[in-house]
């Protein structure tokens, strides 16, 4: 079945005829001005009187194809229910400078915090079959790295390509949560949750994490927060507490205010346990909204319009040279 994203666009179909009639009824002192090429293609008056109807066919087809493209055509194969859990999850990952601290171990090798997160969160993504998942990355600024969708492979790829400092070296937790809430607020999924991971404190941006938590609660979006970082010196012998910048109190309050849970991850094992616990908390099946497969045909309509426009201009050029 053919459908249109914006069927009201077809109200534009008679526009050229309306303009032509309006121009014909104008006084000679103020004629309707149109581009020369369009005049060649659309002017209904010829040197011998009225233009033959066949001469109007190409311009009419060009306009019809353009309006059809604006209407966003598509083909619906019938309503189907996707094998979905009915949950929408947003991963919110810290990329600030402190994530480069090497106080985690993977496979017996000391590694930085982000590498540990990529490994554990990647496994979490693989396990969330049927969920729609999105990704927000943040540092000094927050940005959406992947929309909320069933394409968990794309989310995993975006996370794998992320790098420390790519969003700035400081930590804008409030802005990151705000962006994640905006992405989930109007989502039709009955169950929505944000999984925030950070090793720092909110020291950038104008949004406060507490305000974001209240907004999440108002929209029935849970925030599960993971505070990352060991409580010992790193492999380089840094005498400073590696987790000195972690604002555990705020992360805990944000989680509790939104109906979520706070987790403290000091090691790779604790990080995995945190994601496993969240997997259990956000487990089970929830009623999933119906998913209607639709093949978009807008590109085909625009391509047809361009081909027809080229033919119309070529015909006008040949007529001018004749």
Residues 248-307: tens digit of each pLDDT: 999 999 999 999 999 999 999 999 999 999 999 997 655 555 556 678 899 999 999 899
Cα dihedral sign, 120-144-218-175:
positive
What mean pLDDT do residues 134-147 have? 97
Distance (Å, whole) CA 63 – CA 59: 6
Residues 207-240: tens digit of each pLDDT: 999 999 999 999 999 999 999 998 765 445 554 5
Q: Which residue has the tokens 């055509």?
A: 73
Delimit the domains of the chain by residue range.
2-77+293-321, 87-281
Residue 23 phi/psi, 5-degree rounding, is: -65, -35
What mean pLDDT do residues 90-99 have? 96
Lowest average pLDDT, out of 39-43, 185-189, 264-268, 278-282, goes to 39-43
* Beta strand pairing call for 45-46 and 49-50: antiparallel
pTM of the model: 0.64
Say which CATH superfamily domain 87-281 falls into: von Willebrand factor, type A domain (3.40.50.410)
Buried b (16+ CB within 10 A) or exposed e, 200-209: bbbebbebbb
């Amino acid at each position: 079945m053919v459908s249109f994203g914006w069927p009201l666009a077809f109200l534009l179909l008679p526009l050229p005829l309306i303009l032509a009639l309006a121009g014909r009824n104008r006084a000679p002192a103020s004629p309707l001005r149109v581009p020369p090429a369009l005049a060649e293609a659309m002017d209904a008056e010829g040197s011998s009187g009225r233009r033959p109807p066949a001469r109007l066919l190409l311009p009419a087809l060009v306009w019809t194809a353009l309006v059809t493209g604006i209407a966003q055509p598509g083909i619906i194969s019938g309503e189907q229910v996707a094998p979905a859990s009915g949950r929408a999850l947003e991963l919110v990952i810290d990329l600030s400078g402190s994530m480069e601290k090497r106080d985690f171990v993977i496979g017996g090798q000391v590694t930085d915090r982000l590498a540990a997160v990529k490994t554990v969160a990647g496994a979490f993504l693989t396990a969330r079959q049927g969920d729609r998942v999105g990704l927000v990355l943040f540092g000094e600024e927050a940005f959406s790295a992947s929309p909320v969708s069933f394409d968990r492979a794309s989310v995993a790829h975006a996370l794998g390509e992320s790098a420390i400092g790519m969003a700035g070296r400081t930590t804008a937790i409030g802005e990151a949560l705000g962006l994640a809430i905006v992405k989930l607020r109007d989502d039709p999924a009955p169950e929505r949750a944000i999984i925030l991971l950070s090793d720092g404190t909110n020291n950038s941006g104008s949004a406060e994490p507490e305000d974001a938590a209240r907004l999440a609660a108002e929209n029935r979006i849970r925030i599960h927060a993971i505070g990352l970082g060991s409580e010992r010196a790193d492999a380089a012998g840094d005498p400073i507490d590696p987790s000195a910048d972690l604002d555990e109190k705020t992360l805990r309050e944000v989680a509790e205010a939104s109906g979520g849970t706070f987790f403290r991850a000091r090691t790779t094992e604790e990080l995995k346990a945190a994601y496993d616990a969240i997997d259990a908390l956000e487990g089970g099946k929830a009623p999933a909204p119906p998913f209607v497969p639709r093949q978009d045909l807008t590109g085909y309509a625009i391509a047809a319009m361009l081909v027809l426009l080229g033919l119309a201009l070529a015909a006008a050029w040949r007529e001018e040279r004749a």
